[in-house]
Amino acid sequence: MSLYATVVTAMWVMLPAYVPNNAAVLAGGGAPLDGGRTWGGRRILGDGKTYRGTLFGVLAGFAVAAALDVLQRAAISAFGVSLPWFPFAAMGALPAGAMLGDILASFVKRRTGRERGASFPLLDQLDFVVVALAVTAVAAPAWFGDTFTLDVLLAILVLTPLLHLLTNAIAYQFGLKDEPW
């Protein structure tokens, strides 16, 4: 695969995992997932992980995957790249895994004494990718193997932190997010 095709494919397959974080920022608020409970004197997850944000994030990612399936043929001719089709299991696994990764990262941040909103370089940028990929590998193993070839995986690991920093900086500029990370 050419570098161009690799990058387009990487972005296409990860879109359903990228959107949930941003949708959660827009929808967030209300009751926190941990119900305000603490563990060892610190919040289990913190007020930044809410039911509304999580649910909306997963639904938004699912809707994006379904929309990409509708657009697949048009996108293949527009980009000139043979783009994959999302099976139902991947439609759910990519966004659910992304949200789970973000939640696990908050758990790790609280355990290491970081307050809500504190930055944790690399964990903040890659938590959701690693868990989205892991959950998808379990939920749709054959599709995962066909789709996430080594070059696509490499492109995802390099491009995701950059994209994440860029979109969060934009959300911060627009006052949607409290911190630029």
The residue ranges that bind ligand CTP (CB under 6 A) are 24-25, 28-29, 46, 48-50, 53-54, 57, 99, 102-103, 106, 109, 116-118, 177
Shortest CB 157 distance to ligand CTP, Å: 20
Closer CB to ligand CTP, residue 76 or residue 118? 118
Asked if 6 and 151 count as a contact pair (C-beta separation under 8 A), the reply is: yes
Rounded Cα distance between 33 and 176, Å, is 20
DSSP state letters, 124-141:
HHHHHHHHHHHHHHHHSH
Q: In sequence order, what are the beta bridge partners of 42?
A: 39
Shortest CB 153 distance to ligand CTP, Å: 23
Q: What's the token pair of residue 74? A: 């048009």
Amino acid present at 170: I
Q: Residue 128's closest CA among 43, 68, 61?
A: 61
Shortest CB 12 distance to ligand CTP, Å: 24
Closer CB to ligand CTP, residue 42 or residue 137? 42
Q: What's the token pair of residue 68? A: 């990409």
Closer CB to ligand CTP, residue 125 or residue 147? 125
Shortest CB 92 distance to ligand CTP, Å: 16
Closer CB to ligand CTP, residue 9 or residue 54? 54
Measured from each CB, the residue nearest to ligand CTP is 53
